[in-house]
Structure 1
Amino acid sequence: MKPRTILLSLMSYLAVTATAIAAPEYSVDHGSYNFGTVTQGKKVQHSFTIKNNGDATLQIKQLTASCGCTAATPSASSIAPGKSAEIKVVFDSTNFSGKVQKTVAMTTNAGKNPNYTFTMEGIVAEELQATPRQISLGTMKAGVPREVTVTVRNNGSTMHRLISATANSNSLQITPKIPKQNIKPGESGTVELTIASRSEARILSGYLHIVTDNPQKKEITIPIYGSAAK
């Protein structure tokens, strides 16, 4: 084989080898974020940093959030070698309470680990928190009323008002009363219930509806259940 032919073959081989070796790889600086405790209704925003440590362009193909309450947006979908991008994640806590964890799955063209999952977690505190969340009456005798109190605590920073309380049930007679409608931050109000079983009822069930001036939770619904004594 002529030297020139050998040289061209070697150069072609090296070019193919270099192309095969070149690949994007990434690193993530803190892939999880704990937002602590937030009041229900607040939107939590955090940006994760991803860096391309490879020698080819990194492509962010897809970002998939675990639910519709979470949105994820990359600052760039193509990241050159040595460069970084931000993944902005926004979590809407409106319909959540207690401990929550939300994830965003990322798909890339990286050679070794194309998939990665970002995590956001924390505690969502209800601005108006009702206790108990459900009322268990146990066994009730017809004609023997029972007094039950529901406490509504204001965990927010502004005063809220309990506008009204109503109940619906085919098996129970429920009379609600609100002694204190205006609740200051850090204080609690109450809804007092007088509950009696209808004589023909066997399975007892109903709902208490508390209407508030809180735009994030305009109504608090509490199920009521029990059984009739034989």
Structure 2
Amino acid sequence: MKNLFALSSALLLLFGFFCPALAAPQLVTPQPAFHFGTIAEGDKVHHVFTFTNQGDQPLIINRVRSTCGCTGTLLSQKEIPPGESGEIKTVFNSSGMRGPIVKWIHVYSNDPINPKVRLQINGVVQPEIDFTPRRLRLTGMEPGKKHEALVTLTNNSEQPIFLSHLTTTPAVLSARLSETRLEPGGTANIKISFEIPAGKTHQNGYISLKTSSPRTPKIRIPVFGVGHAQTR
């Protein structure tokens, strides 16, 4: 038994001597995710991700691709020697976005084990003016009869915001503002009256208004009306 164990150990040592680990690059990112917290809609977030070639062959960055609203730019050389580091700069533009946000940057390289590495930036975008619901959907409507609903506007900024030029389309949709001045942290309601014309099963429209906010100068709210299912 001792001889068998000794022979096995010798074979393993011999195999390891003649079969060294294959040389290859290895892309390692110490912090692949960045949380930017809560920002105002329209703000931009700048962040630099670092990565290291922990392999024993040159690491080649073939491509950097990002999702909508975010850009990724390689700041270092495309070829990273063993033991050296590189940087990727990301810029996230929050214009037109709100709520929890997750964006991805994809890094493609010649790392044979992990040829695509995903970097993430995430956080919350708070609009200067929020409105709920963002899309108004009314169901079970009886054609030819008016139905009412509310949309609530909230001022998330630190300055008063003025509302004006409230318009609706088509003619079967009308709306009225409860307030034209929104104090910081204050709310206002849009009272909506909507009907589906007789003989129709559905009707769409929208509400629009202007604001004094430079970040959100105009608000547009789609309205969808769906009538009762017809029975025979």
TM-score, L = length of structure 2: 0.76
| Structure 1 gap segments, 5+ residues each | 1-16
Aligned to 2:104, the other structure's residue is in SS state strand
Q: CA deviation at 1:90?
A: 1.2
* CA 146–26 in structure 1, closer or farther in 2 if over 3 Å, else same: closer
Aligned residues: 209
* CA 228–48 in structure 1, closer or farther in 2 if over 3 Å, else same: closer
2:148 aligned with 1:119, yes or no?
no
TM-score, L = length of structure 1: 0.77
Q: Deviations over 1:15-71 (max 9, x none)?
A: xx99x965432321111122222222221222111012233432222101122x110
- 1:190 & 1:101 partners in 2: Cα distance? 31
- 2:163 & 2:24 partners in 1: Cα distance? 61
Letter in 2 for 1:87: I
Other-structure match for 2:184:
185
Q: How does 1:1-230 map to 2 (within 5 A)?
A: 22-67=23-68, 69-77=69-77, 78-137=79-138, 138-140=140-142, 142=144, 144-169=145-170, 173-199=172-198, 201-227=200-226
Q: Moved runs in structure 1, 4+ residues, more than 6 A? A: none
Q: CA deviation at 1:121?
A: 1.8
- 1:146 & 1:115 partners in 2: Cα distance? 53
Aligned to 1:94, the other structure's residue is in SS state coil
CA contact (8 A) 1:140 1:226 kept: no
- 1:114 & 1:127 partners in 2: Cα distance? 41
CA contact (8 A) 1:130 1:150 kept: yes
Q: CA deviation at 1:128?
A: 1.2
CA contact (8 A) 1:165 1:191 kept: no
Give the alignment's Cα RMSD to 1 decimal. Answer: 2.8
Identity fraction in percent: 29
| Structure 2 gap segments, 5+ residues each | 1-18
